[in-house]
Amino acid sequence: MARTADPQRHEAKRREMLHAARKCFAEKGFHSTSTAEICRMAGMSPGNLFHYFPTKDAIIQAIAEQDRRETAQLFASLDPEEDAIASVINLAEQTMLHLTDPLYAKLSLELAAEAMRNPAIAEMFAVNDRESSQALTALLRRGVERGEIDSGLDLDRSALWLIALVEGAIGRAAMDPGFDAGAHIDTLTKLISRFLAPRAPQAAHGGHAG
Amino acid sequence: MARTADPQRHEAKRREMLHAARKCFAEKGFHSTSTAEICRMAGMSPGNLFHYFPTKDAIIQAIAEQDRRETAQLFASLDPEEDAIASVINLAEQTMLHLTDPLYAKLSLELAAEAMRNPAIAEMFAVNDRESSQALTALLRRGVERGEIDSGLDLDRSALWLIALVEGAIGRAAMDPGFDAGAHIDTLTKLISRFLAPRAPQAAHGGHAG
């Protein structure tokens, strides 16, 4: 079994296959993509895919795991000393710039549509979603504890809206090839910081400062 | 031609067909739905669909036109004397409550995925999108002119983010059958009003009011 003799080479091939699968699914859709096409896109002989992934669902599982690792790394890369609102903006900005890649945006939309009818796929992404929501809620809570974020917000629901916001932008990018994420960062930054900022005392509204 | 003799009956049948088509597309997907299934769902004999819609694309076109009319009616129902932020919240809330219907949410996601690969469908929804964006931007502009909305915002981009926000929530509702839109209105209201509100003078931050 020569193919298992070199784990590094096996891992590199596996990544190539996954990248090819992402491209095929994003361009043609999950159902319309054959495993032969994935092999062609990856420049491998047909049938080779089975050495790496036994089924198409196994490919989606591997994609979900890659996404999960990337999100975990993104959260881990944050400086815990940084202002919590700055960290949320940082996360949103990095996700936004990542999604200017139409491949990523189209694949997200395709997999979301597929997940509606395939409970196994829905569950793979539901796990990722729970992890991101929890990590974001924890970040918001840290901000509240430090007085950097409004203590009057419902943090679970605020996290959900922040995620919906970025997911809405992913949808935009998927539908509109000319969508320029960079051009929208300024307004996104205002939206997030105004939403989360601690409420000032009512001084500005009538001099009741205390 | 008895079927054209009664335009009201024809219109009623056409609406039934459209509703059946929406259900089929939302549940099974656009490609996996046959015209025979739409007829069965509508309780009509197979082949009847052709009297109302010559092709599946014509059904999507009719759905897009229904959506367009509904959105136009929603904007037309706003009281022009109402505070602009209250009107935006009103729009967002009505759209949110509409989308608690999983049929609507799932169909939106399905059609968005289909539009990625079908330029004709993409164009039908792009027309709706341009109209909503323009109507929302006009509403924001009226708010700025009256001093109800921050004049420092980029209004086109603000409108886009408000739409992305609601679209993100539609995606959530499509993926999660337990999504309770009503429970999220309070946080959405805070998000929108804080984002759009005119900026208070800097009094609260260090006494530079004036």
A146-191: pLDDT as tens digits: 999 999 999 999 999 999 999 999 998 898 878 888 999 999 999 9
In Å, what is the CA distance from B99 to each residue of A43, A69, A112, B102?
44, 32, 17, 7
Name the residue in chain A with its Cα closest to that of B175: A116
Q: What distance in Å separates residue B42's CA from the closest CA in chain A? A: 22
Q: What distance in Å separates residue B22's CA from the closest CA in chain A? A: 15
Amino acid letter, A61 = Q
Amino acid letter, A206 = G
Low-confidence ranges of chain B (pLDDT < 70): 1-5, 202-210
Give pLDDT tens digits for A99-134. 778 888 999 999 998 888 889 889 988 999 999 999
SS (H, E, C) chain B: CHHHHCHHHHHHHHHHHHHHHHHHHHHHCCCCCCHHHHHHHCCCCCCHHHHCCCCHHHHHHHHHHHHHHHHHHHHHCCCCCCCHHHHHHHHHHHHHHHHCCHHHHHHHHHHHHHHCCCHHHHHHHHHHHHHHHHHHHHHHHHHHHCCCCCCCCCHHHHHHHHHHHHHHHHHHHHHCCCCCHHHHHHHHHHHHHHHHCCCCCCHHHHCCCC
User: Of A92, A106, A11, which is closest to residue A51 (Cα–Cα)?
Assistant: A11
pLDDT at A207 over 70: no
**Residue B207: left if φ>0, alpha if ψ -120 to 50, beta else—which one?**
left
Percent of chain A with pLDDT over 70: 93
Q: What is the pLDDT at residue A56? A: 86
Chain B residue numbers touching A153 (CB-CB < 8 A): 187, 190
**Cα dihedral sign, B144-B150-B152-B153:** negative
3-state class of A184 per DSSP?
A: helix
Cβ distance of A174 and B110 shorter than 8 Å: no
- CA-CA distance, A14 to B125, in Å (whole number)? 38
Q: What distance in Å separates residue A81's CA from the closest CA in chain B? A: 23
Chain A residue numbers touching B186 (CB-CB < 8 A): 154, 157
Name the residue in chain B with its Cα closest to that of A150: B190
User: Of A139, A145, A149, which is closest to residue A91 (Cα–Cα)?
Assistant: A139
In Å, what is the CA distance from A166 to each residue of A91, A181, A197, B32, B186?
10, 11, 19, 30, 19
- Facing B161 at nearest CB: one of A126, A167, A191: A191
Chain B residue numbers touching A31 (CB-CB < 8 A): 31
Amino acid letter, A189 = T
Cβ distance of B175 and A204 shorter than 8 Å: no
- Facing A158 at nearest CB: one of B28, B187, B204: B187
Q: What is the pLDDT at residue B5? A: 63
Give pLDDT tens digits for A47-82. 778 888 988 889 999 999 999 999 999 999 999 999
Q: What distance in Å separates residue A127's CA from the closest CA in chain B? A: 13
Query: Do residues B142 and B159 make contact, with C-beta atoms less than 8 angstroms apart?
Result: no
Per DSSP, A153 falls in state S
- CA-CA distance, A150 to A142, in Å (whole number)? 11
Cβ distance of A191 and B122 shorter than 8 Å: no
Q: What distance in Å separates residue B44's CA from the closest CA in chain A? A: 26
Angle separating helix axes A119-145 and A56-76, nearest 10 degrees: 10
- Facing B158 at nearest CB: one of A122, A187, A201: A187
Q: What is the pLDDT at residue A184? A: 94
Percent of chain A with pLDDT over 90: 60
- CA-CA distance, A20 to A103, in Å (whole number)? 11
Cα separation of the two ends of chain A: 76
- Facing A204 at nearest CB: one of B161, B184, B200: B200
Q: What is the pLDDT at residue A202? A: 56
Interface test with A, best of B110, B116, B153 (most A CBs within 10 A): B116
ipTM: 0.88
Higher per-residue confidence, A15 vs B200: A15
- CA-CA distance, B140 to B150, in Å (whole number)? 9
Chain B residue numbers touching A174 (CB-CB < 8 A): 112, 116
Query: Do residues B171 and A115 make contact, with C-beta atoms less than 8 angstroms apart?
Result: no
Contacts 24+ apart (CB under 8 A), B74-82: B75/B132, B75/B135, B75/B139, B78/B139, B80/B142
Cβ distance of A194 and B194 shorter than 8 Å: yes
Query: Do residues B18 and B66 make contact, with C-beta atoms less than 8 angstroms apart?
Result: yes
Cβ distance of A168 and B165 shorter than 8 Å: yes
Q: What is the pLDDT at residue B209? A: 37
Query: Do residues B206 and A194 make contact, with C-beta atoms less than 8 angstroms apart?
Result: no
Q: What is the pLDDT at residue B192? A: 98
pLDDT at A3 over 80: no
Cβ distance of B160 and A172 shorter than 8 Å: yes
Chain B residue numbers touching A171 (CB-CB < 8 A): 112, 164, 167-168, 171
Query: Do residues B25 and B33 make contact, with C-beta atoms less than 8 angstroms apart?
Result: yes
Cβ distance of A110 and B113 shorter than 8 Å: yes
- CA-CA distance, B7 to B25, in Å (whole number)? 26
- Facing B164 at nearest CB: one of A116, A169, A183: A169
